[in-house]
Amino acid sequence: MPDAKTGDLCDHAARRAALSEGVPLDVLRAISRVETGRRLDGRLQPWPWTINVGGQGYWFKSEVEAKAYAFKIFKSGTRSFDVGCFQINYRWHGKAFRSIDAMFDPDENATYAARFLNELHAELGSWPAAAGAYHSRTAPFAEAYKERFQTVLAQLEGAPRTRVAGTSRDPFTEAGLPLISIPTASPRTGALGSLVPAAGAATAFIAFN
- Per-residue model confidence (pLDDT) at position 157: 72
Radius of gyration of the CA atoms of the chain, in A: 15
**201, pLDDT greater than 90:** no
Helix (H, G, I), strand (E, B) or coil at 102: helix
The whole-number pLDDT of residue 159 equals: 53
Per-residue pLDDT band for 39 (boundaries 50, 70, 90) equals: confident
Q: Is the pLDDT of residue 161 over 70?
A: no
Q: Average pLDDT in the 55-68 region?
A: 93
Which of 90, 9, 72, 39 minimizes the C-alpha distance to 207?
A: 39
Crossing angle for the helix pair 127-135 and 139-155, to the nearest 10 degrees:
120
Residue 32's CB: how many other CB atoms inside 10 A? Answer: 29
The predicted model gives 114-134 an average pLDDT of 97
Mean pLDDT confidence for 177-205: 36
Q: What's the pLDDT at 27?
A: 98
Q: How confident is the model at residue 85, as a pLDDT?
A: 98
Question: Span 157-185, mean pLDDT?
Answer: 38
Q: Do residues 106 and 9 touch, judged by C-beta distance below 8 A? A: yes
Does residue 192 have a pLDDT over 60? no
Is residue 35 predicted with pLDDT exceeding 80?
Answer: yes
CA dist 76 → 19, 58, 191 (Å) = 38, 18, 21
In this predicted structure, the answer to whether residue 107 has a pLDDT above a threshold of 90 is yes
Full-prediction pTM beyond 0.85?
A: no
pLDDT at position 75: 96
pLDDT at 4 over 90: no
The pLDDT value given to residue 6: 77
Residue range 170-197: mean pLDDT, rounded: 35
Alpha-carbon separation of residue 19 from 8, 12, 99, 129 (angstroms):
17, 11, 25, 21
In the structure, what pLDDT confidence band is assigned to residue 5 with cuts at 50, 70 and 90? confident
